[in-house]
Amino acid sequence: MSKTITIDGQVVPFEDGQTIMDAATAAGVYIPHLCHHPEYTPHGSCKLCTVKVNGRNCSACTFPALEGQEVLNDTPDLNADRQKITQMLFVEGNHFCPSCEKTGNCQLQGLAYHLNMLDNHFPHFYATRQVDASHPEVMIDHNRCIFCTLCVRASHETDGKDVFGISGRGLNKHLIINSPSGELKDTDISIDDAAVHICPTGAILIKRTGYQIPIGQRIYDHQQIDQVSLAREHHQDEQ
């Protein structure tokens, strides 16, 4: 008899060592997230996967599943918090969707749509951030970076290159490039690297590939991120 937790009353089996997110994904239950990816070590920084475990807030991507946990996930209160967190991400960076190549295929945007986020609520920072277009094939628009560290983890864990890192704290936090000049062109990044393809927003883009999918056929035009995410990550779990 396998061990179980409940998520919003639904019985979900788990194996020792699985996080609540792992168990939920395997059972086809969507928990909102941006910095989590099933292939990489959890980071627990975006806080969108915050769930209530036996009455206390925990990050589902880092918290281990334990026998008998009662988890609340898809509740009005938690989703309201998630909407506020998403709004903070939008005002902290410079996310101008109409001028972004990732629009329609962006997880940050897809999640905001899913949460029915209609405004940004908070005052905008309009922080001055740079664009690194030095590399012939890959570009970085720091305006759109949400510090999820997926590129950092993908570059380290899959590509074995450590092209990216996070430096600074609070308002000064920023993505850094591991090269003597600090520019992408002086790294050994290649277009086939996992780190180039993992960005949930439009911060890391492959040049000359934008706007190829017409409006109406993009990932989040008609499908919600819960379905897209489960289809992608549930499948990865089974592999």
Partner 1 sequence: MSNKIRVATTSLAGCFGCHMSFLDIDERMLQLAQVVEFDRSPITDIEHCTNCDIGLIEGGVCNSENVHVLREFRKNCKILVAVGACAINGGLPAMRNFIPLEDCLREAYFDGIGVENAQVPNDPELPLLLDKVHPIHEVVKIDYFLPGCPPSADVFWKFLTDLIEGREPSLPYELVHYD
Take residue 164 and report the two structure tokens written for it. 């990216």
- The Cα 175–Cα 140 span in angstroms is 10
Query: Which CB, 25 or 103, lies closer to partner 1?
Result: 103
Q: Quick check: 116 binds partner 1 (CB under 8 A)?
A: yes
Binning the chain into helix, strand and coil, the percentages to the nearest 5 are: 30, 15, 50
- The Cα 39–Cα 227 span in angstroms is 19
Take residue 70 and report the two structure tokens written for it. 């009662």
Contacting partner 1 (CB under 8 A), which of 17, 55, 77, 128?
128
- From 61, 81, 58, 78, select the one nearest 69 (Cα to Cα): 58
Contact string (CB under 8 A) for partner 1, positions 203-232, x = contact: ------------x-----xx-x--------
Q: Quick check: 118 binds partner 1 (CB under 8 A)?
A: yes
Give the range of 13-21, 30-38, 64-72, 122-130 binding partner 1 by CB under 8 A: 122-130
State the amino acid at position 43 in one-letter form: H
CB distance 146 to 195 below 8 Å: no
In the complex, minimum distance from the CB of residue 110 to partner 1, in angstroms, rounded to a whole number: 10
Residue 59 burial (CB count, 10 A): 24
| Residues 93-112 close enough to bind partner 1 by CB under 8 A | 94-100, 103-104, 109, 112
In the complex, minimum distance from the CB of residue 17 to partner 1, in angstroms, rounded to a whole number: 36
In the complex, minimum distance from the CB of residue 220 to partner 1, in angstroms, rounded to a whole number: 9
Identify the residue whose tokens are 């918090």. Answer: 81
In the complex, minimum distance from the CB of residue 116 to partner 1, in angstroms, rounded to a whole number: 6
Query: Which CB, 74 or 221, lies closer to partner 1?
Result: 221
Q: Quick check: 144 binds partner 1 (CB under 8 A)?
A: no
Identify the residue whose tokens are 């209530």. Answer: 52
Three-state DSSP class for 55? coil
In the complex, minimum distance from the CB of residue 167 to partner 1, in angstroms, rounded to a whole number: 21
Query: Which CB, 112 or 151, lies closer to partner 1?
Result: 112
Spatial neighbors of 202 by CB under 8 A, at least 6 apart, are 100, 101, 102, 103, 106, 141, 144
Given the DSSP bridges, would you call strands 131-132 and 56-59 parallel, antiparallel or unpaired?
Answer: unpaired
Distances (CA, A) of 56 to 11, 115, 151, 174: 19, 22, 30, 31
Query: Which CB, 122 or 136, lies closer to partner 1?
Result: 122
**Residues β-bridged to residue 76:** none
Contact string (CB under 8 A) for partner 1, positions 57-96, x = contact: ---------------------------------xx--xxx
Query: Which CB, 120 or 179, lies closer to partner 1?
Result: 120
Q: What residue ranges bind partner 1 (CB under 8 A)? A: 90-91, 94-100, 103-104, 109, 112-114, 116-121, 123-124, 126, 128, 215, 221-222, 224
